[in-house]
Amino acid sequence: MRLHFAALAAVLIAAHAVHSAAAFDVPLYSNDKVAAGQSRLDALTDNIKYLAPGSVVKLTTTQPDLTKATGYVIPANKGSYWTQEGLSPASPKVAALKAFVSGGGALLLLDGKTDAGNSYLPLLAAVLGYDSKCASADITTDTNMNLRLTTGFFAKLDAKIKVKPRQGVSAMVCGTGAPIYSAYIQGRKQMSVAMYWTLGKGAVYWIGSAFSIPHLKGYQEAMGAALLTAAGPAPKPSPSPSPKPAPKPSPSPSPAPKPSPPSPSPKPSPSPSPSPSPSPSPKPSPSPSPSPKPSPSPSPSPPPPPSSSPKPSPKPTKKPPPPADAPPPDSFAPPPQSE
């Protein structure tokens, strides 16, 4: 378990490296009427510092001023925060919690299970401004819970956790909000051990572990991811590693060797092509020169021969005509008449 905790912590720390130098306040409610003991507070303090680098944990026995806080963690594993702080829907403390979350803060409600249900239900309704429609559920058998929130820092969490009875973990079935870890029951209903509700720029988170077992897989990591989400948009750099694989295609310049294959004597191959000097066969292509013959075919050539025929006719005309009184030549004499 320690090895798993260290490995996942290393992932979250690396993802949050951009913000590691920027400190941010995280008040931890430590009233012993609500929190179950100093040992759990110590474990939570260590978890927060380790999984949310840059966090400055400040113990407080009453609801503090949250104007400069990034996260506010309330572990109600002994009593009711709502009762201890004397809250009501119209109380200034509820208004302060609502303003804190709407401004981008992370309100983390841990455990809260009671015999009657869950002590956080009136607080959820007052801060959200509507009924959360949540009902407490017991873990009665080993149940595999799947990660449903897979964006930002939550993408680094384990894809599946196993929840067992007597681990100090409770569940809820809600008609609002969205699950972080859940399992389907009774058709499409989801029983969740971690949930969240967005409000303005921030969110209210409920995590069902009492942290009686400090390092149960999934719960402390969800708490760290929620705080890192409120601390800043560090997840955006995390996608940037995916472009680094893109450079791998850059080795595709290996196609450069492909040009080298063309160099191997395909150029000589054209030299054999000269041997097929039958390229003179293109000279037959002058056969298209017949096409020029059609150009003379424009039958103007036929007209010249008739023009030559008239020329002989003038030659006889040049012979002087016989005198009118001269006798015709023998050739024109009438044939002799038989006696």
- Show the CA angle centred on residue 223, arms to residues 11 and 234, nearest 5°: 50
Domains detected in the chain: 21-231 (3.40.50.880)
Q: Are 113 and 136 in contact (CB under 8 A)?
A: yes
pLDDT at 19: 45
pLDDT at 237: 52
Note the pLDDT tens digit of each residue in 177-211. Answer: 999 999 999 878 999 999 999 999 999 999 999 99
pLDDT at 265: 44
Burial of 232 from C-beta contacts in 10 A (0-12 / 13-18 / 19+): middle
pTM score over 0.85: no
* Close Cβ partners of 323 (under 8 Å, ≥ 6 residues apart): none
Q: Which residues of the chain have pLDDT under 50?
A: 1-19, 21, 238, 251-339
pLDDT at 246: 54
Note the pLDDT tens digit of each residue in 89-138. Answer: 999 999 999 999 999 999 999 999 999 999 999 999 999 999 999 999 99
pLDDT at 188: 84
Q: Which residues pair with 118 in a beta bridge?
A: 113
pLDDT at 317: 44
Q: Residue 53: how many CA atoms within 13 Å on its side-chain side?
A: 15
pLDDT at 128: 98
Burial of 117 from C-beta contacts in 10 A (0-12 / 13-18 / 19+): middle
Tokens 């971690």 correspond to 194
